[in-house]
């Protein structure tokens, strides 16, 4: 029997490093095949070889039984393979239809037939039940719509095999639902879909078969009916996951008080936001990114001024104070973008760890930083969080650490400040399951020791797992508050989309 | 071991640049029709051939080194101070006038002059920093334009109100300093003066500051990633202003020691014509802003210049040979930037392959 696609014993080596080690995979017509694995497991490398962006060191690709070799993405597209990248490649100023037909425009005597393009796109949209307005300008489309444009583009290009690279990372929960439906529609009409992801819930919902990669090898290919989330996680991580520590019930005093804070620039970014974080409490802030969470974090940590309102931390007024004085008042901060805010990539692990400690009395005497004493501390962090620093240890450049290890370093640095309040923004974004466990465990321990944590995350599962109270932000406002006991993914999703949850109490402060 | 390997690695590029510079110089010499080896021998002799020439090279290296050290601090903080020339000239003229007109013993005149030189150079530079912090006027532009104001203002001072009218020829210069206020020569009859020690001391101090103090750390992190520095609580404006003051102060000191140790009066053009400021910037770039490296690159660049004078004295090759070699040096130092960038890009590419 011939498969629509078969990848045989694919191996890719970069010097000493083996990114893919004899990975084999088959894909049938009408099948949704998920490829899951932690960061660095080799998912992307495998797909780059399929798409002609990398040449395999060894192995063979068979398309409908015939061996093929692609010299570039154009080859792959011509053979019916299309890829939707995580970052969209669209022209914002052009219409949806124009973006879809790009490169293969309907022409007559050298002229672009815009009307025909719109007709073709409408037909395609109906055929696969992917709703879209062909004449809308792409820059006015939501992220979910833009993704549909990308999918229609590969369909227009004649793809039978559609590769989706982490497609749900940028979507709201409702958009995710739509996307999963679209994927099922595509499969039903005979297309084959490869879904690259690390979200196991979605995998279980939509895929027929699942291939798990770990360390460049296949650790299992299973049918969805024979497996569950726990089994998949075990295959991905290679061990059992540990349960989070119990949360000790605590009734702490008010630690952070944000009172009617408003931030206005060209538009209102934060609109009269009020809430509090108490000692021994994790307050989670959910919301589709871009609804004011970043601004809220920046305001609290002193990186952005407020136009109205007050912020009190541990009893002190820190409104529009400098970062330095707010940190002294008791704030540590895991930033939402670790490369932009959290590190200097060209400096060593040690230098990155030192940020915020260089003038602390323990490590600073007679005008000089006490490097030896501090190095001991950093070594402690490296051990405790199992940070893999590479051969040069503390002198390794931070930019050479993997995302997960760098994140662990940042988390260790900020926890090490031992401040009463920790602002944790996307603390596990892009880190693997192992590192996520460590970080979640550390946050719970900090909470249990009586400190307060403000958690901002776009992962609902993370918010639900950690928070004592959940605030949902929508368009710069707190759209609602849910206690841990009453919070469900559905309720949060509705609030995130701007809806109302019946019975949510408005006890924000 | 690793530290030594690091050091060797950081030396490869500048040495390569110097080699290529010399090679290009060889082509120029050959084009003029002179013997390459003979000319370079003359150059070596002119720079290091005798104790006298050697000390002349050190004397020339002194202001270059001080300016380079100041720029190194600014560059490390990611601050582009292009105003070293103006800061040097304004510091020097203020110091000179104070030392001439302050009614005090010679040693006091000298010390007061040095202080004023540093302070005026520093404040002039600080003004540009303040304009950036307060009005968002880019330093790159303000410091560059401030050069004209400072140099022309100093020029006015010595052609009009403070011109030396004692001599028969009305040159654009101040009165001579009291002999008691002169910086002592290190060896009698040789041109190198006590300012050279200041430069070495400044290099060691800067090395210490950058390597061991919180301020040095903050400067470095600010240069590497300003957002990270801000996030970590480093006061960007304070560090920038301190850096601007220090780099301007060192430039002011450079001009002051040149006057107090070599010319003994402020002569219009005497500080700008030899291009100390821009040579200093080259020395910083060539040493990748490393204070100890700057000691050597400053002497090297000074040697090209004094050596070229020897070449001109004894061969048909013109003085401009030094400029050719320096120009090629700059070219290859900037090539280092693009080479680094290319390497980084490659490394990044490799990473994204590895991470799936």
Q: What is the pLDDT of residues B7-40, one digit of tens each?
A: 666 677 778 788 888 888 888 888 888 888 888 8
Residue B144, pLDDT above cutoff 90: yes
Among A102, A129, A159, the domain boundary falls at A159
Task: Give how far B204 is from chain A: nearest CA, Å.
Answer: 15
Same domain, A129 and A188: no
A351/B231 Cβ within 8 A: no
B221/A344 Cβ within 8 A: yes
Instruction: Indicate which CATH number applies to the domain containing A58.
Output: 3.40.50.300
B220/A45 Cβ within 8 A: no
Domain extent, residue B267, equals 34-334
Please give the backbone phi and psi of residue B64, each rounded to the nearest 5 degrees, phi first: -60, -45
**Burial classification of residue B250, based on how many CB atoms lie within 10 Å of its CB (0-12 exposed, 13-18 middle, 19 or more buried):** buried
Beta strands A192-197 and A452-456: pairing type?
A: unpaired
Question: Is B327 within the bounds of a domain?
Answer: yes
Q: Does B1 touch chain A (CB under 8 A)?
A: no
CA distances, A30 to each of A149, A207, A353, B212 (Å): 21, 11, 50, 64
**Predicted TM-score of the model (pTM):** 0.76
pLDDT score, position B296: 92
A306's enclosing H/E stretch is none
Q: Does A294 touch chain B (CB under 8 A)?
A: no
Q: Does A207 touch chain B (CB under 8 A)?
A: no
On the CB side of B28, CA atoms within 13 Å amount to 21
Question: Is A247 within the bounds of a domain?
Answer: no
Size of interface A-B (CB pairs under 8 A): 89
Same domain, A51 and A94: no
Q: Does A43 touch chain B (CB under 8 A)?
A: yes
pLDDT bucket at B80, cuts 50 / 70 / 90: confident
Same domain, A344 and A477: yes
pLDDT score, position B345: 53
Test the B interface: residue of A86, A212, A358, A399 with most B CBs within 10 Å: A358
Question: Is B15 within the bounds of a domain?
Answer: no
pLDDT score, position A155: 92
Closest Cα in chain A to B237: A322
Tracing tokens 């970052």 back to the chain, one arrives at A87
Same domain, A15 and A115: no
| A303 closest CB neighbour out of B212, B217, B230 | B230
Burial pattern A15-51, b for ≥16 Cβ within 10 A else e, equals eeebbbbebebbbbeebbbbbbbbbbbbbbbbbbbbb
Q: Does A431 touch chain B (CB under 8 A)?
A: no
Q: Tens digits of per-residue pLDDT, B321-339?
A: 888 888 887 777 766 655 5
Lowest mean pLDDT among A159-173, A416-430, B117-131, B158-172: B158-172
User: What is d(CA B193, CA A321) in angstroms, rounded to the nearest whole number?
Assistant: 49
Three-state SS sequence of A48-68: HHHCCCCCCCEEEEEECCEEE
User: What is d(CA A52, CA A48) in angstroms, rounded to the nearest whole number?
Assistant: 6
B231/A44 Cβ within 8 A: no
Same domain, A351 and A461: yes
Same domain, A75 and A95: no
Give contacts of A40 with chain B, Cβ < 8 Å: 354-356
Count of residues in chain B: 356
Closest Cα in chain B to A332: B232
pLDDT bucket at B217, cuts 50 / 70 / 90: very high
Question: Is B339 within the bounds of a domain?
Answer: no
Closest Cα in chain B to A35: B356
Tracing tokens 């490590």 back to the chain, one arrives at A363
User: What is d(CA B144, CA A422) in angstroms, rounded to the nearest whole number?
Assistant: 44
B221/A347 Cβ within 8 A: yes
Question: Is B276 within the bounds of a domain?
Answer: yes
Q: Tens digits of per-residue pLDDT, A398-422?
A: 888 877 788 889 999 999 999 999 9
Give contacts of A403 with chain B, Cβ < 8 Å: 355
Per-residue pLDDT tens, chain A, 509 aa: give them: 688 999 999 999 887 778 889 999 999 999 999 999 877 678 888 988 999 988 999 999 999 989 998 988 889 999 999 999 877 888 988 999 999 998 888 888 888 888 889 999 999 999 888 888 998 898 888 888 888 999 999 999 999 999 998 888 777 777 888 899 999 999 999 999 999 987 888 889 999 999 999 888 899 899 988 988 888 888 887 776 667 777 777 778 899 999 999 999 888 899 999 999 999 999 999 988 778 888 999 999 999 999 999 999 998 999 999 999 999 999 999 998 888 899 998 889 999 999 989 888 888 888 889 988 999 999 999 988 888 887 778 888 888 887 778 888 999 999 999 999 999 998 987 677 778 888 999 999 999 999 999 999 888 888 998 999 999 998 899 999 999 988 888 888 888 877 776 544 444 44
Domain count for chain A, please give it: 3
Average pLDDT over residues B112-125: 96
| B354 closest CB neighbour out of A17, A322, A343 | A17
Give contacts of A12 with chain B, Cβ < 8 Å: 353
Torsion, Cα A139 A143 A144 A145, to 10 degrees, reads 0
Give contacts of A343 with chain B, Cβ < 8 Å: 225, 228
pLDDT score, position B352: 37
Question: Is A475 within the bounds of a domain?
Answer: yes
Give contacts of A333 with chain B, Cβ < 8 Å: 231
A213/B221 Cβ within 8 A: no
Strand partners, A84: A164
A323/B232 Cβ within 8 A: yes
Question: Is A8 within the bounds of a domain?
Answer: yes
Give contacts of B217 with chain A, Cβ < 8 Å: 351, 354, 358, 369
Instruction: Indicate which CATH number applies to the domain containing B251.
Output: 1.10.3470
- DSSP structure class, residue A5: E
Three-state SS sequence of A153-213: HHHHCCCCEEEEECCCCCCCHHHHHHHHHHHHHHHHCCCEEEEEECCHHHHHHHCCEEEEE
Same domain, A309 and A373: yes
B227/A340 Cβ within 8 A: yes
Q: Does A39 touch chain B (CB under 8 A)?
A: yes
A346/B2 Cβ within 8 A: no
* CB proximity under 8 Å: A 136-175 to B: none
Count of CB atoms within 10 A of residue B20's CB? 16
**How large is the ipTM?**
0.78
Q: Tens digits of per-residue pLDDT, A155-195?
A: 999 999 999 988 887 777 778 888 999 999 999 999 999 99
Closest CA relative to residue B62, chosen from B177, B180, B196: B196
Give contacts of B353 with chain A, Cβ < 8 Å: 12, 14, 19, 45, 48, 54
Same domain, A454 and A419: yes
pLDDT score, position B349: 44
Same domain, A323 and A208: no
Closest Cα in chain B to A302: B231
B228/A355 Cβ within 8 A: yes
Q: Does B227 touch chain A (CB under 8 A)?
A: yes
A38's enclosing H/E stretch is none
Can you list the positions of beta strands (E) in A186-290? 192-197, 209-214, 217-223, 254-264, 268-278, 281-286
Same domain, A40 and A185: yes
Task: Give how far A499 is from chain B: nearest CA, Å.
Answer: 34
Instruction: Tell me which of B302 and A173 has the higher pLDDT.
Output: B302
Same domain, A74 and A194: yes
Q: Does B161 touch chain A (CB under 8 A)?
A: no
Question: Is A248 within the bounds of a domain?
Answer: no
**Burial classification of residue A268, based on how many CB atoms lie within 10 Å of its CB (0-12 exposed, 13-18 middle, 19 or more buried):** middle
pLDDT score, position A228: 86
Domain count for chain B, please give it: 1
Closest Cα in chain A to B347: A400
Task: Give how far B278 is from chain A: nearest CA, Å.
Answer: 28
User: What is the end-to-end Cα distance of chain A in Å, rounded?
Assistant: 65
Among A241, A264, A294, the domain boundary falls at A241
Same domain, A190 and A141: no
| A324 closest CB neighbour out of B2, B233, B350 | B233
pLDDT score, position A508: 44
Please state, for a pLDDT cut of 90, what percent of chain B lies above it: 47
Question: Is B134 within the bounds of a domain?
Answer: yes
Domain extent, residue A128, equals 88-159
Q: Does B228 touch chain A (CB under 8 A)?
A: yes
């Amino acid at each position: 029997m011939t498969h629509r696609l078969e990848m045989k014993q694919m191996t890719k080596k970069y010097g000493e490093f083996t990114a893919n080690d004899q990975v084999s995979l088959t894909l049938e017509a009408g099948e949704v095949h998920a490829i899951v694995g932690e960061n660095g497991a080799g998912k992307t490398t495998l797909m780059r070889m399929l798409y002609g962006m990398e040449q395999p060191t060894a192995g063979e690709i068979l398309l409908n039984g015939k061996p093929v070799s692609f010299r570039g993405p154009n080859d792959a597209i011509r053979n019916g393979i299309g890829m939707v990248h995580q970052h969209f490649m669209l022209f914002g100023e052009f219409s949806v239809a124009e973006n879809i037909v790009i490169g293969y425009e309907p022409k007559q005597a050298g002229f672009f037939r815009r009307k025909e393009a719109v007709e073709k796109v409408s037909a395609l949209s109906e055929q696969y039940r992917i709703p879209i307005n062909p004449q809308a300008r792409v820059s006015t489309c939501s992220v979910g719509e833009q993704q549909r444009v990308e999918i229609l583009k590969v369909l227009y290009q004649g793809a039978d095999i559609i590769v989706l690279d982490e497609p749900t990372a940028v979507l709201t929960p409702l958009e995710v639902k739509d996307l999963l439906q679209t994927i099922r529609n595509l499969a039903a009409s005979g297309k084959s879909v490869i879904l690259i992801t690390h979200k196991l819930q979605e995998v279980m919902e939509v895929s027929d078969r699942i291939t798990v990669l770990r360390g460049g090898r296949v650790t299992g290919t299973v049918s969805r009916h024979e497996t569950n989330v726990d089994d998949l996680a075990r295959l991905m991580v290679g061990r059992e996951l540990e349960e989070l520590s119990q949360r000790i019930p605590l009734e702490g005093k008010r630690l952070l008080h944000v009172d009617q804070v408003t931030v206005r620039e060209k538009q209102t970014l934060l609109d009269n936001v009020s809430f509090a974080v108490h000692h021994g409490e994790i307050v989670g802030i959910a919301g589709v990114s871009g609804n004011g969470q970043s601004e809220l974090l920046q305001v609290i940590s002193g990186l952005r001024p407020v136009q109205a309102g007050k912020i009190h931390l541990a009893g002190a007024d820190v409104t529009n104070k400098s970062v330095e004085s707010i940190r002294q008042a008791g704030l540590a901060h895991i930033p939402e973008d670790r490369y932009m805010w959290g590190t200097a990539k060209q400096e060593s692990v040690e230098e990155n760890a030192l940020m915020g400690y260089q003038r602390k009395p323990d490590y600073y005497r007679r005008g000089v930083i006490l490097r030896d004493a501090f190095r001991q501390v950093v070594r402690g962090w490296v051990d405790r969080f199992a940070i893999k620093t590479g051969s040069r240890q503390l002198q390794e450049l931070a930019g050479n650490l993997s995302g997960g290890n760098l994140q662990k370093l940042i988390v260790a640095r900020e926890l090490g400040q031992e401040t009463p309040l920790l602002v944790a923004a996307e603390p596990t974004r892009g880190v693997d399951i192992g590192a996520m466990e460590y970080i979640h465990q550390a946050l719970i321990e900090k909470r249990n020791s009586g400190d307060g944590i403000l958690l901002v995350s776009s992962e609902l599962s993370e918010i639900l797992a950690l928070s004592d109270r959940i605030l949902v932000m929508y368009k710069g406002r707190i759209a609602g508050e849910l206690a841990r006991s009453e919070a469900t993914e559905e309720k949060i999703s509705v609030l995130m989309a701007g809806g109302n949850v019946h019975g949510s109490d408005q006890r924000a402060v | 071991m690793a530290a030594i390997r690091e050091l060797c690695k950081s030396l490869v590029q500048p040495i390569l640049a110097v080699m290529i510079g010399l090679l290009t110089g060889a082509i120029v010499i050959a084009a003029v029709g002179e013997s390459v080896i003979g000319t370079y021998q003359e150059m070596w002799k002119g720079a290091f051939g005798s104790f006298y020439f050697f000390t002349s090279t050190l004397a020339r290296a002194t202001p270059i080194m001080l300016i380079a050290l100041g720029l190194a601090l600014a560059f490390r903080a990611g601050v582009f101070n292009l105003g070293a020339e103006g800061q040097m000239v304004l510091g020097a003229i203020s110091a000179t006038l104070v030392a001439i007109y302050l009614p005090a013993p010679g040693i006091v005149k000298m010390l007061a002059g040095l202080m004023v030189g540093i302070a005026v150079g520093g404040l002039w530079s600080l003004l540009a920093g303040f304009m950036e912090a307060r009005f968002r006027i880019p330093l790159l532009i303000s410091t560059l334009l401030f050069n004209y104001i400072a140099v022309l203002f100093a020029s006015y001072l010595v052609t009009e109100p403070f011109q030396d009218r004692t001599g028969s020829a009305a040159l654009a210069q101040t009165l001579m300093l009291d002999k008691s206020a002169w910086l002592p020569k290190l060896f009698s009859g040789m041109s190198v003066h006590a300012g050279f020690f200041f430069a070495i001391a400044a290099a060691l101090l800067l090395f210490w500051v950058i390597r061991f103090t919180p301020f040095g750390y903050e400067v470095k992190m600010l240069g590497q990633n300003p957002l990270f520095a801000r996030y970590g609580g480093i006061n960007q404006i304070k560090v920038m202003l301190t850096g601007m003051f220090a780099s301007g102060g060192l430039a002011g000191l450079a001009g002051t020691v040149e006057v107090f140790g070599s010319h003994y009066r402020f002569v219009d053009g005497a500080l700008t014509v030899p291009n100390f400021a821009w040579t200093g910037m080259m020395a910083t770039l060539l040493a990748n802003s490393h204070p100890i490296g700057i000691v050597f690159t400053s002497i090297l660049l000074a040697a090209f210049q004094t050596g070229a004078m020897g070449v001109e004295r004894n061969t048909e090759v013109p003085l401009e040979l030094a400029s050719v070699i320096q120009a090629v040096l700059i070219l290859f130092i900037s090539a280092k930037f693009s080479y680094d960038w290319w390497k980084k890009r490659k490394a990044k590419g490799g990473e994204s392959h590895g991470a799936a």
